[in-house]
Each structure stands twice: as structure tokens, then as C-alpha cells.
Amino acid sequence: MKAFDYSLVKDPQYFCDNRMEAHSDHVYYRDGNEMQTAVQDGTETSFRYSLNGLWKFHYARNYKSAVQGFEKEDYCCYDWDDIHVPAHIQMEGYDAPQYANVQYPWEGHEEIYPGQIPERFNPVASYVKYFTVPEHMKGKRLFISFQGAESGLALWLNGAFVGYSEDSFTPSEFELTDYLKDGQNKLAAQVFKWTSSSWCEDQDFFRFSGIYRDVYLYTVPDTHAYDLQIRAIPEENLDVADLEIKVKTWGKGSIAFRLEQDGEYVLEEKKSLTEAGNEEANAEPFYIQKTNSSKTVQNSFVWKINNPKLWSAEDPQLYDLTIELYDEAGNIQEVIPQKVGFRRFEMKNGIMTLNGKRIVFKGVNRHEFSSVSGRHVSEEELRKDLRIMKQNNINAIRTCHYPDTSLIYQLCDEYGIYMIDETNLESHGSWDVAEFTKDYTHVVPHNKPEWLDMMLDRANSMYQRDKNHPAILIWSCGNESFGGKDIYEMSQLFRKNDSTRLVHYEGLFHDRSYNDTSDMESQMYPSVEAIKEFLAKDDSKPFICCEYTHAMGNSCGAMHKYTDLTDTEPKYQGGFIWDYIDQSIYKKDRYGKEFQAYGGDFGERPTDYNFSGNGIAYGGDREPSPKMQEVKFNYQNITAEVTADTVKVINKNLFVNTNTFDCKVTLAKNGKVIRTEALETAVEPLSTKGYKLPFGKAEAVGEYTVTVSFHLKEEKVWASAGHEIAFGQYVYQVKEDVPDGKSDSAETAITAEKNVCVSDAFVKKPQIIRSTHNIGVRGEHFEVMFSVLNGGLVSYKYAGKEMIEAIPKPNFWRAPTDNDCGNLMQMRYAQWKIASMYLSHKEYRKGAYGPSNLPQAEETDHSVKVTFTYLMPTTPASECQLTYEVFGDGKVKTTLTYDPVKELGDMPEFGVIFKFNADYDNVQWYGLGEAETYADRKKGAKLGIYQNKIVDNIARYMVPQECGAKEEVRWAKVTDRKGRGMYFEMDGESMMFSALPYTPHEMENAMHPYELPQIHYTVVRVAKGQMGIGGDDSWGAYTHPEYLLNADGKMEFSFSFKGI
């Protein structure tokens, strides 16, 4: 009897032993009734018996500490711990989750080389499951399927070694028949966290281990379809399609096919399994699997289908194929339901096309991740992800960087999402330094023959399982694994098995020795200019960004530059945002409150901390983050270029007319909707057409927004009828006639809220009270006090209530974002933080500190002006002035002035910061919304009136940082539950407005949300602007120059505030 040899685990040529041959992921049922019940109710086929649930478990730090002989039939494991299967052992309280990006998780602990494995710490998970073969399975061949075990799995049954398998992300299946006994059976498995193959599983993710996907027993009938290959490819003119089905079968009999759509039969035919060629499947293929393979017979069938309805992300037309197998006596043996999508994906003239049209990938990278259960993601979570993607115009997924669970491929077929299916391969840590040293000794797999079979096995396992899904357009050889012959051979495996798809690999950017590995030029995080420059020199292949607009924390600035490029550069065919969801795990702080934990929070080292927080969706509840607003707009397939009374509709859909959507036109005055009309449009795919709007340009004074939006006419599986899929907006002002010499600034067109800010000419002049240490100003319902000693506005009472909690001060700082940290913004702009925190009205004179300049107070015909000068401790020294002009109704016009010092350059923000009591916890604004906006991330926002709670403006980025800003604000107010509070409005130009419970410095000092202080204040920042947030990458890319604050000349900013 063969025994398991643990020493082979460090041999890259030992990656499977007695494992079953890989096959398609089809499901088969006993008959049509069982199939219908399963489809309707979600029940399991009776050919399967789930082993999910509690298993007996033992944890060991390494193989030497593992229980030896536990697999033996007479070794009792009933007193072992219980563990849930499927689950990572790290999510069940054994070992610790460890997040690492490029570095291997054992670095700094053991010095080992590729193929070798850690010995001091390499957790071994020993599992035992006692089971009795179900009555309806007795007497049949019995198999077991592990859908995912990470990273090496050894299996025994009743003490006999059954087999071994690596590749954490595709099924490992074994036949158990010869090892079974009557009554109770003892199934034993050992899962090793790190094997030789772990050198090729260095993805940017949490490092887990264990049996984390479903486990089940299964039997097969006497006549059985072991594998299906379905090709549904239209001919070039798309009027006729070939439906080719290859079936590998066990046993003799006949097979029947029925193809239907919407209840109508397209095909119905029955064939003998001895007809149609009777090809022996042992004819040598490109890749011979090192597996336990029973003899199968391959039968091929081909039909012509006239006028097929074509599958695409825009209109995912699917046909229902039913395959029935019968034995020689005519008894039904199994029924197989299969979705079929007809589509033609190919390269034409150097451009990727789908059904004859140039395709653009509006994609996202998606790690399979749950904050609850790691890489074991529930169906509910999968469906939520895909619903949100479709609702936000995402049309493609790259399965970074391994095959996902089978269900997501079925859902992408159904929902309509293109896929790059990526092989489980990343060896980033093996070549990260070698790229510069040119020493490739330890780079894997590269050109090393001992790694080739493992690589081919991984590619083949993914291909065989997933080959029948129309959503998959591209096979990917892996990620960030340099180049070389081994990866080239993987690409050839895909090509020789499948001529209907293309092959992708990005690593060619670093090693061009096998440039034909990839059918497309694929790069990570190039600038738009770099893409243009590359294509100008070499446009032999289409270009995609397999990763771009790095979405770490508050990011995705200037994303529109990439999506705009797809309209002007035919060879640039889109990209995939990095990435979809924050990889964070629920953990409790010392007080028992749950938070989203990241690298380092589990005591593990080495780690890359919060670098896993790159999602456009939050970890935890998987809800969209504010970045999604911009993604949705940039990815929309309909562009509406709106004027006051017309719209030009640009339909970027490849296959769908705009008449399949409802079009709505909305007119708002000063943010309030005054009219909504329907507009009938009928713009053909890839066409443009102009329309006159249902109403003309307004004449009454005010600011108007015209919004043209497109909505679903009927419910989809991913959204309700009425869901908005695209919009365009136009803003214009109708100004009142003004006499010569008077200002006609934009603010005269905006009618502020009634009785808040009244024209200065109709307000009685306030009273000024001068004294040695204070300057008071009193008017109707209000009092203001300025302190000479404390250097600023110390009191603003309205209706007898004190409004401010601290002296408003000039502010030039924001809490650094993850992108800021990556490009060392804190170092480059550190003087502006110092200026914001430590500016003062005092200076050292004659042995004491006193005001450098007394506040300047002057009276005008309608107001009182008080100006403070602040010295800033920068190098060189600088100063700024803050002027308050108080009117009789309590309005205070505030002006911040700064004469730039050239050596200091620009700044993160230019504005004023206020503190109010936390009771003022509501905010309403007329500006861009509804999510936060920034100078380089506001195209997806609409001008309107929005409101929320102050605390709602804290975005749930994994590390607290700048968030919640609102661009192009006309007016805003913060109020308590009774509606009392402070009102702010622009003065000539719109303003940036922020209302949060914390100052930028409090945000900056916290590494987790739970480290933020208790809420005591509402902190309002009113600013001329803030620098953009950037996002080309998060490790050095600066904010684009046009989104920086211009400090070349005198800077001045005015706004007004008033109690309400």
C-alpha cells in the first residue's frame, strides 16, 4: 500500500498524486423532476452528499508537531476539537490571518529558497470526518470533491493513503471506491499551509490555509457525462452560429439534446453514444494530466443555429440546454442543465471585438474576499457584489489572481459581466529585486523545467473547469510572475485548447523574451501619457490596463482621463480598477466593539498593514464607498451633453438602442426641482443624435440645472425598474439686470434661503463696542466679540445662544490620504501642517509674547470690519490675514488673504476652520453630491440640495484620512435637531465645504476608526479649494498639476456665515 511522503511537499514536481482528471463544472441530476426542483428551490442533486459541517480537528505549528498516525483507522479522534468546514483555520481561531503584499510571509523567520518550505513555523491542519455512505449511494463508484483547499492536501480513507493535491483554487477530486468499507468510514485529511507551490501563490492578499470551499461525496450513473465542452460561436456575419458539443462519457447508451429560449425549442435531437465519431479520449492532447483517469469516450456533435440571439454584457441572452443520458435499455441515467451564450470574441485588425464591435473593458479586479469568512464567500455576498457592479456600470471582472468559486462564473453569465479568468500564479516576491540585479537564479517559474508541469496543471485545471462560460473572454496566465518559457507554454496550452478566446499576461512588461505570451499589451498603472507614447511607438497589439486607478483609501482622482482615452485611442480598450473590495476582517477592540482589521492587527509579521484597503466597496457590509459615484459616471455607456434647451445623446453601447431605456429631463432652480418631463430617444448603438428638450431656457432670475438621465424601463436581476444608468447635467444662471458699475457676479443669480442673508443695503448698521482687550459688535438678534489677547473671533451669539466653541483659524492642511502617504505629502507639505497648528497673532517683544499687530477695526456705511494678522512658523516665515465684516443682521463676511512666499509653494487646502458644539449634527448643502467630491473626482456628482448627519460624512476608509469634502458649494448649514445653527454661503465663487466630527489633525493621528476621540465638536472647514486626491497609484504618484491650488499670486477667499 502506497504511503504519503511529506518530504515530497517541497518538490515542485510533486503537486498531485492519484487526483482525478480535471473536468467541466456542470451539474447532473437523476431526472427532469429532480432538476426542476433543484433549479426552483436551490436543492442539491441526489448524486451529491455534502460533507460540509463540523469535522474533528487538530492544529500544529509544523509537521513535526502534528499527530503522527492520526489517519489510521484505529486512532480515535473523537476527543479532538470541532472545526467548521468550509472555513479557513485562521478564521476559526487557529493561527493568525497574515496580510502580505509582495514579501513572502516567512521572510525574516526562515532563510529558504524557491521550492523549499518553512519548517519552524508551517501550520498543519489535520481533519477527520466520520461518515456512513448514504443508502442511495451504496454499490456505486464513490468520489470526493474538495472545491478548494489551501495550499497542499493529503487524503486518507480508513487508514489508506488516497492521494495528494496542490493548487488552492481549483477542485481536487479523488475516487474513494477501493478504500470504502461497510458502516462507518474514517476520512482523514492534512492541509499544509505552505508547500513548494506557495512560491507561486504570493498574491497580494491575506495568507490563509485550510479546507475553505465545499466538500462533497458524489457518485455517477452507469452512463455518465464526465466532461462537457460547449462552443456556441456565430459565424462572421452573425446570422448563423455553430453549436458544437463534445461529451466525454463513461458507459454506453444514448444522449439527447434540447436547446430552448423563452420556452421555444431551437433544437431537439437524440443520438447514440456510439455515433458521431466515437473518438477515444486517450488520443494525445497538448497537455497530458498526471491524474487518475478512467477511460472515457469523446463524442462530438455539431448543429447550425439560425439567427441566434447574441450574448453580451449589455444584453446577456442565454439559451437553456438540457442534456439527457440514457443507458442501453433506454432508462434515463442523468439530466444536465447548461446555460449557453452565443458570442464571437476575436482579434480583428489588432483590435479586440465582441460580435463584430470594438469592446471596451470597464472593469475591476476582484479578490474573492469576505470580512466574515475570508476567501469563503457566500452566495449572498457574490450576488450583492455583482448587483452593485452592474448598478454602477462595471462590465468586466478580472479574477485576481486565481480562479474564483464556480458560482460567480454562472452569475456573470446571467448578469452580463465579461471576465478575465486568471490562473493561480503570482511569484512577485521571487523577482522583485531580480529585475534590477539581473540575477534570475531564484525567479520562479521563469525558464525552470522543474516548475513547468505544475504551471501547466494549474492552467489546465482552470480551463477545464470554466471553459463553458460565455462570460469568460480571456484566459490569463497569472500575475506579476516575471516572464519566461514556462509561462509562454501556459499561454500555448490555452491557445491549443481554445481558439475562441484570447490570452493575457502582464508580466511581459518586465521581460519581453517571450513577447507572444500575451495577445494584448497589458500594463499596470501607466499614466495616460505613457499609454499614448507606447501606442505611438508600437500599436501591434491592443492595450489594456489590467490594473489602474489604485483605489486605496480616498482615491480614484483623475480617473476620467483613462476612460476618456478609450474614446480617442482605438487601440486602448479599457482597464480594470484595483480593486473591488477592501480586504479587511471583523475583529473586536479591547472594549468588545467590532472594527475592520487589516494587516498587523493580528500580531502577525511581516505584514503590509492597510495596503489591502484598495476597494471601491467597503469591507464588512460590501456597500459602495464614495469612490463608486465617480466610477459609475466614468463607466456609463450613454453620454448626455446638455445645454439649456438641447441634449446631444452619444450612445456608446455596442448593441443596445437608447429606446430600451426611459429618458427623463429635470429642471431645478437654485437646487429645487421645478419640472420633470419624459424625452423619447432612439439612438442606435455607437451613434449620436441631438434632441430639443421639452422646455426652453428659463427667464426668471436664478441658477438652473438641467439634468438628462436614463433609467431602466423594466426590472433586471441586478436592479429595479427606474434605476438610473447614466446622466448629464448643465448649469446656467439667469442674472438680474444691474446698473453700470455694479457687480453681476454669479451669486446674484442664486436666491439664498429666505431671511438668511439679506442684501447689505437693507440692513441697519451694527453697533461697535471698543475696549482695551476686546472689540464687540452688536446688531439685531446677535452679538459678536473679537479678542485682542486671544487673536480672533471668540464669540458669536445668535438669538442669545453662543454658537462657536473655538476661535476660527486659517487652515492649510488636510488629514493625509493613503495616496498622500505614498507620495510623502506629509514631508513635502509639512510646513503647512505646522502653519495650521501653530500660527499665532503673537510675537516675542521685550521679554514677553504679545500681539504682533493689533486687530484693525474699521466702520463702513453698513458694517464693521475687523482684521487679524497671523504669523506662520514656516521657513521662510510667512503671514496671512483674516478679515471679518459684520453686518447688522448677523451676517459675517469672512476673507482670508495670503501673499505667497515662493519657497513654500502650494498647499493642501486654503480656507478657515470652525468648531461648533456637537449638537449641531445635521448638515445641508447646495453643491455637488451626494457623495464626497474633490477637484479631481467630481464628474460623477450632480449639483443639488443634499442633507445628512455630520457623522455620515466620515467615509469608512480603513485608516482615517481626509474625507467628506463637498465641492462647488453655494450654501450650506449645520443645525441641531431644532433647526438652529450656522449658515454659510459663497461670496462670488463657489466654495469647498466640509463638516466632520473631527479636525484634520485628529483624523491624521488615528490608524483605526476606534482610535478617533469621542465626538465633542462639529468641525466645519470652508475653503477656496483643496488639492485633488490623486490615484494613478498609491506609492509615489502626485496629484495632477491642474488639481493643485495655484499659489503663484496673491490668494484670497471670501465667504459669509450667519446664525439661524
Could you list the active site residues? 480, 547
3-state secondary structure of 679: coil
CA–CA distance, 674 with 666 (Å, rounded to integer): 8
Rounded alpha-carbon distances, angstroms, from residue 404 to 20, 170, 407, 419, 578: 20, 8, 8, 11, 17
Q: Which helix (H) or strand (E) holds 1001?
A: helix 1000-1004
Nearest to 695 by CA among 672, 717, 719, 679: 679
CA–CA distance, 579 with 108 (Å, rounded to integer): 29
In this structure, what C-alpha cell is assigned to residue 371?
A: 470580512
CA–CA distance, 391 with 633 (Å, rounded to integer): 11
**SS3 sequence of 796-827:** EEECCEECEEEEEEEECCCCCCHHHHHCCHHH
Terminal Cα distance for the chain, rounded:
87
741: CB partners within 8 A, 6+ apart:
none
Contact predicate 655/312, CB 8 Å? yes
Contact predicate 601/381, CB 8 Å? no
**Any idea which residue has 437654485 for its cell?**
670
CA–CA distance, 138 with 708 (Å, rounded to integer): 65
Contact predicate 500/233, CB 8 Å? yes
CA–CA distance, 206 with 217 (Å, rounded to integer): 29
Contact predicate 555/342, CB 8 Å? no
Residue 168 DSSP symbol: T
Residue 969 DSSP symbol: E
DSSP 434-495: HHHH---TT-SSTT-HHHHHHHHHHHHHHHHHHTT-TTEEEEE--BS----HHHHHHHHHHH
Contact predicate 870/878, CB 8 Å? no
**Any idea which residue has 470554466 for its cell?**
466
For the chain, how big is the Rg over CA atoms in Å? Answer: 33
CA–CA distance, 197 with 149 (Å, rounded to integer): 13
134-171: buried (b, 16+ CB within 10 Å) or exposed (e) per residue? eeebeeebbbbbbbbbbbbbbbbbbebbbbbbbbbbbb
**Strand duo 782-787 + 1051-1059: pairing:** unpaired
CA 938, chain centre distance (Å):
18
Instruction: Please give the single-letter amino acid code of residue 221.
Output: P
